[in-house]
């Protein structure tokens, strides 16, 4: 895809002042990859778009919530690739479309709204809506191909890193990071969802038996109340990150991931000499749902 330029991505070093240990923390600024298909979205979509075209399908259909970054990224990627797109959206159609849904529509995506109960049965929805020219992509890009596309992130992550940290939703990005990790690198996932007890199983489903033997750990104590919950303490943390490091984060994933990483550093989880790469997975458009002036950055 011509619009995707890896040259825009860079690694940002974070100066740590809260630990006496010799620990290095870097952030992979994948939010700089593209203005819409930012962060991890392109990596999860790239091989699935290729598979769609190889199968001679003309339309990609996928799933997401009303504020889904994945929905917008898929709509944009399909437009660039000359494909049609359909988004199955959780919940009743709103009287006034939010920014995310408006953007998806402006990119040519057809939006189909289903009840929350119906949305929970994706296979039934696929059977109900399917057309012969449709290629289905799961919510959040969850698929083995999605995880395999994520391994491209190691273009910026060399073997000197002892740990690779990421936020987790469906677990697709974390699975891809595990696939691409060297044997000595531990992958750490910070969950954005409360009570996502099946996450480890869902990640393992995308891995080979040998890959499941690689070191990886999931932390579920940093969700701040649940998916997209953003109490004042989280907003204060986001403003602190921007004021201190000029690092913008989102309310769903990256802010909580970095809070968890900093907390683990301060609590002594990482050994002396650890070198950590934290993945900025983009998704900043989700902040548009906040009241004006909640954040010091736009």
Averages of pLDDT over runs of 10 residues in the chain (298 residues) are 79 83 94 90 96 98 93 96 97 92 96 96 96 97 98 97 97 98 98 90 97 97 88 96 96 95 95 96 85 88
Tokens of 123: 């296979």
Q: What predicted TM-score, i.e. pTM, was given to this entire model?
A: 0.94
All residues at 6 or more sequence positions from 59 whose CB lies less than 8 Å from its CB, including other chains: 83, 84, 85, 86, 131, 133, 134, 135
For the sheet containing 186-191, what is the strand order? 11-14, 24-29, 275-280, 163-168, 186-191, 216-219
Q: What's the pLDDT at 285?
A: 80
Report the alpha-carbon distance of residue 23 to residue 265 in Å, rounded: 8
Tokens of 262: 């900093």
Q: What's the pLDDT at 3?
A: 61
Tokens of 36: 């819409």
Domains in the chain, please, with CATH?
Answer: 6-35+153-289 (3.40.50.1100), 41-141 (3.40.50.1100)
């Amino acid at each position: 895809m011509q619009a995707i330029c890896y040259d825009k991505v860079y690694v940002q070093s974070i100066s740590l002042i809260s630990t006496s240990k010799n620990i290095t923390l870097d952030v992979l600024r994948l939010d700089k990859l593209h203005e819409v298909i930012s962060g991890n979205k392109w990596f999860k979509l790239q091989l699935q778009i290729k598979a769609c075209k190889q199968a001679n399908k003309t339309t990609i259909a996928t799933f997401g919530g009303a504020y889904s970054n994945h929905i917008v990224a898929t709509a944009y990627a399909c437009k660039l690739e000359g494909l049609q797109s359909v988004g199955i959206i959780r919940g009743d159609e709103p009287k006034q479309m939010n920014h995310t849904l408006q953007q998806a529509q402006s990119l040519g995506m057809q939006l189909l709204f289903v009840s929350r109960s119906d949305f929970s049965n994706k296979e039934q929805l696929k059977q109900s809506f399917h057309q012969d020219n449709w290629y289905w992509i799961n919510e959040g890009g969850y698929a083995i191909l999605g995880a395999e596309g994520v391994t491209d992130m190691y273009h910026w992550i060399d073997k000197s890193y002892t740990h690779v940290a990421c936020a987790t939703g469906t677990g697709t990005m974390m699975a891809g990071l595990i696939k691409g990790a060297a044997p000595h690198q531990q992958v750490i996932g910070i969950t954005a969802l409360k009570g996502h007890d099946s996450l480890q199983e869902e990640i393992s489903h995308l891995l080979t038996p040998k890959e499941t033997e690689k070191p990886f750990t999931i932390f579920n104590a940093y969700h701040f109340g649940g998916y997209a919950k953003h109490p004042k303490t989280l907003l204060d943390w986001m403003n602190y990150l921007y004021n201190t490091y000029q690092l913008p984060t989102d309310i769903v994933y990256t802010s909580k991931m970095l809070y968890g990483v900093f907390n683990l550093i301060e609590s002594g989880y990482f050994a002396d000499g650890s070198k950590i790469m934290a993945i900025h997975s983009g998704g900043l458009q989700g902040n548009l749902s906040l009241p004006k002036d909640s954040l010091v950055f736009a």
